[in-house]
Amino acid sequence: MKLTLIENFRALFYAPFYAAAELGAWRAEGLDVGMITPKTSAETIQILAAGGAEVSWGGPMRLMIALDRDPASDSVAFCEVVGRDPFFLVGRTPKPGFTMKDLVGPRVAVVSEVPTPGICLDRDLVLAGIDPKQVDRAPARTMAENVAALRAGEVDVIQVFQPFAQSVLAEGTGHVWYRAADRGLACYTTLNTTRAFIRSNPDTILRVTRAMYRTQKWVAAHSGAQLADVVAGYLPDVPRDVLAACFDGYKATGVWSTDPTVQRAGLEWKRDAMVSCGAIASAASYEGYVDPRFAQRIVGEDPPAI
């Protein structure tokens, strides 16, 4: 069966999706998967709802916003791939024993390209008893521009993902203050579809989930260098050794989920963060955002790694 899969945007922490294609996981399930990338990640759920694709990947925040705005929205997550937050806070000077209170005072540059990292950071601040408005935030710029600002001494702390964190650490111009993955589960990226598509094509969703689980098993059993060899073509601007180091870091901090279950604790943490920052007005139940049946069945099958 032919499927169109929406790629949220190109990023290192999405490597398991690229691996699924390169390792032949989709093909092994009889799926002919083509990827498209929207102009902005905000369009992903709209394209899915309009039938422009059958499956997407992205943060469950998009599902939450869609349901909050329209109770009839039937976009739903069915498979988790990134279970923890892959972003970092990197400062110009070392900060051993960092706590969220250390962000009050320094000039902080937060991710502007997508909203989820900032929402999660605001939730961390609130849970630490800090009003996010107390943080002195730099004007919105890209992560690449914020790296340059850190080097120039224009900001004190930047929020970035890989490979930006790895590059400033290797140079010695930056120091990790906080790995957001260390906060625990935060349901960062799921595979999504519509309940209407599930009703019409349950076997297809089962096949997608099985392919992803077999890929997750492969990723868990192989090194960052081996994964880099598989997916390097998707990230040609990142040196192979940097890819390997970043991937090993993701594995060590549990950024990637090891099975397709959308973990309730992580989903509910993300939902509560969305309510806390005002991105959604009300909280739905776990089942309002997730159809867990396919992951449950595939985990029970326990298929071999691809």
Sign of CA dihedral 278, 281, 285, 287: negative
Q: pLDDT category, 49, cuts 50, 70, 90?
A: confident
Mean pLDDT of 238-257: 97
Residue 118 has what pLDDT? 96
Place domain 88-183 in its CATH homologous superfamily: Periplasmic binding protein-like II (3.40.190.10)
Q: Which pLDDT does position 35 carry in this prediction?
A: 95
Largest CA distance in the chain: 56
Q: pLDDT tens across 107-117, in order?
A: 999 999 999 99
Model confidence at 86, pLDDT cuts 50, 70, 90, reads very high
Q: Quick one: average pLDDT of 218-223?
A: 98
Confidence grade of residue 223 (pLDDT, cut at 50, 70, 90): very high
pLDDT tens column, 171-202: 999 999 999 999 999 999 999 999 999 999 99
Kindly provide the residue ranges of all beta strands, DSSP E only, lying in 43-133, ordered along the sequence: 55-58, 75-82, 88-91, 107-109
Domain ranges of the chain: 2-84+185-301, 88-183
Tens of pLDDT, residue by residue over 53-81, are 999 999 999 999 999 999 999 999 999 99
CATH superfamily of 2-84+185-301: Periplasmic binding protein-like II (3.40.190.10)
Q: What are the distances in angstroms from CA 7 to CA 16, 43, 67, 69, 280?
A: 12, 11, 21, 23, 24
